[in-house]
Amino acid sequence: MKNFLINFLSKNFFRNIRNFLLIKPTFSLKPQNSKYTISDFFYWNQDNGFSTKFMLTNLSSQAYPDDNDIDYIKIIIFNNNGLKIKSISYELNPFQTIDLLFQDLNVSGYGSFCVFHKFNKLNDIILKNSFMAERGYVGYKTNLGVWNFMHGNKYACYLNDKNNIKSILSSSLYKFSYLPQVSFLDSKKTLIVLNNPTKKNIKYMIKFFYSNNIIIKSNTYNISEFGTLELSVEYKTAYVNIISNLLLSRPIIIKKYKTYFDIFHG
| Domain range summary for the chain, segments of one domain joined by + | 1-25, 31-167, 171-265
Domains 31-167 and 171-265 alike in fold: yes
CATH topology for 171-265 is Hypothetical Protein Tm1070; Chain: A (2.60.290)
115-139 average pLDDT score:
81
Q: For 45-69, how does the pLDDT look when each residue is reduced to its tens digit (9 = 90+)? A: 999 899 999 999 998 888 888 888 8
> Would you say residue 9 has pLDDT above 60?
no
Using CA atoms, how far apart are residues 198 and 244, in angstroms rounded to an integer? Answer: 14
* pLDDT score of 54: 97
- Mean pLDDT score of the chain, rounded to an integer? 87
* Euclidean distance between CA atoms 93 and 135, whole angstroms: 20
Closest to 242 measured CA to CA, from 181, 154, 178: 178
- Topology of domain 31-167 in CATH is Hypothetical Protein Tm1070; Chain: A (2.60.290)
* pTM, rounded to two decimals: 0.88
SS3 59: helix
The C-alpha atoms of residue 100 and residue 11 are separated, in whole angstroms, by 35
